[in-house]
Structure 1
Amino acid sequence: MSFYDEVGGAETFERLVHAFYQGVADDPELRALYPEEDLGPAERRLRMFLEQYFGGPHTYSEERGHPRLRMRHAPYPVTLDMRDRWMRHMLAAMETLDLDEAHAEAMREYFLRAAHMLVNTDEPATAAPEGRPTL
């Protein structure tokens, strides 16, 4: 049984990512990275990525190719503040799930490593970038 299955499969990842993007929608600084009127496409991309990363379907790679997280985020200023905002919303979203502590800790550790790895500037963003991270 994969980690994905152990935590509840598609339903768990749908709930996690939906709760995360509800937080993003209410965070003007982070929301500025998503110029799309609807956060639905970003929500779907992140859900597919996380499902695949944690042992679920490989839909992300089938549709989008290799994740290449650093490359896909390189055009956008990812600051320490953006990392912290992302983490705050992801950790809050995790609180909406009923995960056992071992699984929750494994996910928190991954999210912290990934968020830290994507920081690419010490400079605060002065304007919303054109486009958005395309995870």
Structure 2
Amino acid sequence: MSLYDEVGGTAGVKAAVAVFYNRVTADDSLAPWFEGVDLSRLKAHQRAFLSAALGGPELFAGRDLEHAHAGLNITPEAFESVVQHLATALHDLGASDEAVARVRERVEALRDRVVALQPTD
């Protein structure tokens, strides 16, 4: 069984994305990144991306991660918060601890493509 199936397939991903965005847009530390963003469009992209990332249908045709997040100056702390919100959303929807851990691993592997490079002293 694919990880996509473990989290509930199409219905599970759709629900997870809805709960996830409710959580991140309510988080005062993350909300500024979503101001002025077309959330309906973003949710559709996220559903397609997450489906593909979890072994489901390859429907994602959006920009690559580097271009989609370029100039947003996403911090390591913000990335951690986003991952935690996704994990919590999946848990809230009944995904197993093992499935959530595997999702976290896959998302964590994308960190360097999303988090802004921080200047070194």
- Runs of 4 or more, structure 1, over 6 Å off, are none
5+ unaligned residues in a row in structure 2: which ranges? Answer: none
How far did residue 116 of structure 1 move? 5.2
Tell me: CA distance 1:101–1:81, structure 2 relative to 1, closer, same or farther (3 Å): closer
Q: Deviations over 1:36-71 (max 9, x none)?
A: 36522211211110011212222222xx3xx52123
Q: Is the 8 A contact 1:70 1:118 kept in 2?
A: yes
Match for residue 83 of structure 2?
87
Cα RMSD of the aligned pairs, angstroms, is 2.2
Structure 1 gaps of 5+ residues are 124-135
2: CA distance, partners of 1:36 / 1:4: 30
Q: How does 1:1-135 map to 2 (within 5 A)?
A: 1-36=1-36, 39-61=39-61, 64=62, 67-115=63-111, 117-122=113-118
Q: Would the aligned equivalents of 1:10 and 1:51 in 2 still touch at CA under 8 Å?
A: yes
Paired amino acid for 2:36: E
Q: CA deviation at 1:117?
A: 4.2
Closer, same or farther in 2 for the Cα pair 1:84/1:6, shift >3 Å? closer
